[in-house]
Amino acid sequence: MRDRLEDRIGRLHLKQRLGIETDYEARIFGQGLNFFHIENWYSIHGLLRGTLRLLGVHGRGQRNARAIRICHNTIALPRLPAAFDGFRILHISDLHLDMAEDMPHALIEAVRQVEYDVCVLTGDFRGKTFGAYAAALDGMRRVRAQLNGAVFGVFGNHDSIRMLPGLEDMDIRMLMNESLALTRDGAAIHLVGIDDPHYYRADNLEKAMQGVPEQALSILLTHSPEIYRNAAYADCDVMLCGHTHGGQICLPGGIPLLCNANSPRALCSGAWRYQQLQGYTSRGSGACMVDVRLNCPPEITVHRLHCDKPQGTS
């Protein structure tokens, strides 16, 4: 597997990723500026679940976590080629497919209801941040069988680089600091994807953008919203991300207790804008730590691209 990974992403990227994964599995703490990550403190999981049971909301929260909403977002883009007017992107994030046996089924039922042109996955296929990943790949294989057409993805902080061959063997094109062109009627837009910027800090936006012509429209896939400033000043048009779960367990009104990202709270969920960059942070289709959601429904999102029309969400 190592030779295949090195051929796919390069020796240095692989060495960085595997090294950090190995360090993490030895100490269950972060890398870089964020030394502590609450999702890695597994003793809190039982405490949280017990607290939710005492409050009488655990069962309701579990039902909420499986009631995936289909959201629609319209993005008006001055640089969008006319051939792509009305182009639809199905955006799925934070799948955490091995958190519970029925999680893949809930997602499959949701994706069966939507029509789209391409599908993008913005990371966190696995429930835990270390250990086995076979169940997550098995769940993704079931979901992939229900996805029509081309599927593209990036990795999140819960994902091991060792998952790359398995995902690409399912015909999911993972973008590892890379870009590719989507073409229609002789016109092109560019899909750009970076490795996880939150925990592994293995993102390389400059490398990823190398294949994007100047003045071409680019859509950046990243797991976390934390890269928003870099994306704006790299002249990206759209940024699709997740990671925050919208808070997952929120106060009434959807007010998040924790977003777990080094970015403004306005970027915690839904549509947002920074400079010319139009972004969308998905609440995710899954859940982590506990398979519970309160005041924060899971989602999959269909983004519809349009030329020079107002942006809005529903």
Q: What is the pTM of this model?
A: 0.90
At residue 46 the predicted structure's pLDDT band, cuts being 50, 70 and 90, is low
**Whole-number Cα distances in Å, 153 to 45, 174, 194, 235:** 28, 5, 9, 21
Judged by average pLDDT, the poorest of 48-52, 62-66, 190-194 is 48-52
Q: Give the 3-state DSSP-derived string for 181-197, with helices as H, strands as E and coil as C.
A: EEEECCEEEEEEECCCC
Q: 197: domain range?
A: 2-313
Please provide the distance, in angstroms rounded to a whole number, between the alpha carbons at the two ends of the chain: 43
The C-alpha atoms of residue 241 and residue 220 are separated, in whole angstroms, by 8
Cα(179)–Cα(212) distance, integer angstroms? 7
What mean pLDDT is predicted for residues 68-72? 98
294, pLDDT greater than 80 = yes
The residue-averaged pLDDT of 158-177 equals 98
Q: How many domains does the chain have?
A: 1
pLDDT at 44: 62
Give me the CATH number covering residue 104. Answer: 3.60.21.10
Which of 234 and 312 is assigned the larger pLDDT?
234
Contact call for residues 89 and 120 (beta carbons, < 8 A): yes
Rounded mean pLDDT, 185-206:
97
Is the pLDDT assigned to residue 53 strictly greater than 90?
no
Block residue for tokens 């999140």: 156
